[in-house]
Amino acid sequence: MEALNALFDVYRSRHPEVEIVNAAVAGGGGAGANMKAILQTRVLGNDPPDSFQVHLGAELIETWVEVGTMEPLDSLYQEEGYAKVLPASLIEIASWEAKPYGVPVNIHRNNVLWYNKPLMDQVGGTPPATWDEFFALAEKAKGQGIPAIGMAEANGNTTAHLVEALLLAKLGADGYTGLFDGTTPWDSPEVTEALETAVRCFPYANQDYLSYQGSDAPKLISDGKALTLINGDWTNGLLKQQGFTDYGWVPAPETDGVYDLVSDSFGLPMGLDDPTDATNWLKVIGSKEGHDAFNPLKGSISPRSDRDTSRYDEYQLWAVEQWDGAPSIVPSLEDGSAAGPRFLAAFDDTMHKFDVNQDPAATQAELVRAAADADFRK
């Protein structure tokens, strides 16, 4: 909320005559689902808010754009010069039929391995760059009674992030993105290998993983209950909120050079009586001033090439280097950028079952069926 309030302050400085009504639903998890249900009711009832947050990519396109509820923003992009400061690959993720429909305010990264530095020193290991190195490290940790990987599976959350990272590792950036346009089959041997590798992780996890919610996963690192965790970089902010600073990070094994992105964005709903104030909000959302106010507080980074990093922490500075130098930028599955809500719901349900049955063949068969039912963006 602090980061959002910083955006409100920028807007008020530009348009002091406009009253801002924040109708956000607080919290994550179930609250996020409630928010989406409320939004759908309002939009389909011809009472849309002036703007609302949505993840860039498939969540934006499949939920809102393809059904004809959002205005294209190509004129705004041209007026604000976004093509000069945003990567073309990010604009492509924001677009449908060559027109952008969302303005990004930040970038999060999903494929990060976090680790507890004191535990790493105790084990006598180093952060793994490959999965072979990870399992060698896991054996060392097991010998000292330390879970090598944190898992929080009351809602299937961390398994989904783990499998996403493994799909990237085994398929590469092009093969991974091909899963969501039909060019990479879900019954491919690389998907099999990813699921089989995930099963190898379970014996090295905290064995009470079914009692932890995904939002509690960072506490496994800060409480010293797990050596590593594969999760998005909101983990950075959560660990700092907990007052824990003795942690490190590297790209998830075998995904160096790939930036698995999640981006919060805002768009312009159709049917507004007067879109002027909403358009001005989007200009704040996409501006250098807005990005520089929001991201240091959110713990994310600005995708703009002219960003001010003077208020970024150590992790964010590393993330900027990774983002600017990444040869491959791909959309996250688990956070709604790569696939729409229908497939994502099936994927999450399948991952939750996978936590219990640990059966790669059955899990892959379910994913194949879910992909056949999905209408992926081409």
pLDDT in tens, 175-189: 999 999 999 999 999
Q: Are residues 297 and 353 in the same domain?
A: no
Residues 248, 156 share a domain? yes
Q: Which residue has the higher pLDDT, 54 or 378?
A: 54
216 and 131 assigned to the same domain: yes
Closest to 148 measured CA to CA, from 246, 242, 220? 220
**Angle between the 2-14 and 288-298 helix axes, to the nearest 10 degrees?**
160
Q: Are residues 198 and 211 in the same domain?
A: yes
Q: What mean pLDDT is predicted for residues 81-102?
A: 96
CA distances from 264 to 56, 64, 79, 170 (A): 6, 15, 21, 27
Residue 294 lies in a domain: yes
Domain limit, last residue, from 331, 348, 365: 331
Domain residues for the domain of 7 are: 2-108+264-331
Structure token digits, residue 130: 């490959």
Domain for residue 31, yes or no?
A: yes
Domain annotation covers residue 378: no
Q: Is 231 strand, coil or helix?
A: strand
Using one digit for the tens of pLDDT, what is the confidence trace for 223-268?
999 999 999 999 998 998 899 999 999 999 999 999 999 999 999 9
Average pLDDT over residues 36-61: 87
For β-strands 103-104 and 264-266, DSSP reports them as antiparallel
73 and 92 together in one domain = yes
pLDDT digits 0-9 by tens, 349-365: 999 999 999 999 999 99
Domain match, 102 and 117 both: no
* Count of residues in the chain: 378
| Contact between 259 and 322 (Cβ < 8 Å) | yes
Give yes or no: residues 49 and 94 share one domain: yes
What's the total number of domains in the chain? 2
375: confidence class by pLDDT, cuts 50, 70, 90? low
In DSSP terms, which residues pair with 264 in a beta bridge? 55
Does a structural domain hold residue 280? yes
Query: Residue 83 has which token pair?
Result: 């093509």
Does 367 lie in the same domain as 221? yes
Q: Is 44 within the bounds of a domain?
A: yes
* 360-373 vs 341-357: helix crossing angle, rounded to 10: 170
Terminal Cα-to-Cα distance of the chain (whole angstroms): 35
Contact 160, 317 (CB under 8 A): no
Query: Tell me, what's the pLDDT at 377?
Result: 58
pLDDT tens digits for 203-223?
999 999 999 988 899 999 999
125 and 211 part of one domain: yes
Task: Report whether pLDDT(31) > 50.
Answer: no
Max CA pair span of the chain: 66
Q: What is the DSSP string of 45-61?
A: TT---S--EEETTHHHI
On whether residue 259 sits in a domain, the answer given is no
The three-state secondary structure class of 339 is coil
Residue 315's domain is classified under what CATH number?
3.40.190.10
Q: Higher confidence at residue 156 or residue 40? A: 40
CA–CA separation, 152 vs 212, rounded Å?
A: 4
What pLDDT score does 23 carry? 78
212 is a domain residue: yes
What is residue 30's predicted lDDT score, i.e. its pLDDT?
41
What's the token pair of residue 234? 């909101």
Do 19 and 116 share a structural domain?
Answer: no
